Amino acid sequence: MNTENCPLKTAPCPPTALITGGGGDLAQAIRLELESQGWQVHAPTRTQMDVTDKTQVQAVMGALPRLDLLIHNAGVLSDASMLKMTESDFQQVLQVHLKGAFLTTQAALKLMVKQRQGHIVTIGSFSALSGPVGQANYAAAKAGLIAFTQSLAAEYGPRNIRANCVLPGFLDTRMTRDLLAKHRPEVESRHTLGRLNTAEDAARFIAFLHTLENVSGQVFQLDSRIHRWG
């Protein structure tokens, strides 16, 4: 463990992670997984840190002595058909996913560049690859997040800062529970294994991914839906 930027340099500091959208089921699963491995984890909820508010982001990030892993997990859904989707529906989803990633990444980089190391993981979605009906805003935001992540990896790789995008799959969480109550068989049928991923599985993968120090600029899909590239 690195003692740089540690208040007590006589002893190693635990690695530090910050997970945005900290109140969500996936965020909590990641927090528990990292904490079980000895991490110090900050998982602010939206009321504690609105990722679209630069002042709030800087206040939370600025209070950290160091940051080894940023997980941009904050997200929102506002599904509607194209003609029924309002400008507010479209704007809000892009703001949270893209502007939120931009603001939190900028703040994280100020710490990571000084440390000469760091890892930024963005939480993507299969919707970015498939463009589902009624999710023009969400699919566009998540597709943009992939490009954002890869651009970041290319720019900051020479400074030993990694960036990867994880598509955790269709998880059984509070966000999807109502949908699954009505359409679980249909949803599961789209998976070649006929079952869904779990937040705990995704959390374990993200923790493992962080240990792969030579992996950056990649997109990882964690369920069994098949997408043909190109």
Its domain, for residue 206, covers 16-171+199-221
> What does the DSSP 8-state code read for residue 95?
I
Per-residue model confidence as pLDDT tens for the chain (230 residues): 344 456 555 557 899 999 999 999 999 999 999 999 999 999 999 999 999 999 999 999 999 999 999 999 998 877 778 899 899 998 999 999 999 999 999 999 999 999 999 999 999 988 878 877 878 999 999 999 999 999 999 999 999 999 999 999 888 877 777 777 778 888 888 899 999 999 999 999 999 999 999 999 999 999 998 877 65
CA distances (Å), 82 to each of 26, 35, 89, 106, 145, in order? 29, 42, 10, 32, 21
Q: What is the CATH number of the domain that holds 76?
A: 3.40.50.720
- The reply to whether 156 belongs to the active site is no
State the Cα–Cα distance between residues 171 and 151, nearest whole angstrom.
Answer: 27
Decide if 66 is inside a domain: yes
Please indicate, yes or no, if residue 217 is contained in any of the structural domains.
Answer: yes
Catalytic residue among 39, 90, 138, 170: 138
Residue of 221, 198, 21, 26 lying closest to 130 (CA atoms)? 221
What is the rounded distance in angstroms from the CA atom of residue 225 to the CA atom of residue 56? 37
Q: How many structural domains does the chain have?
A: 1
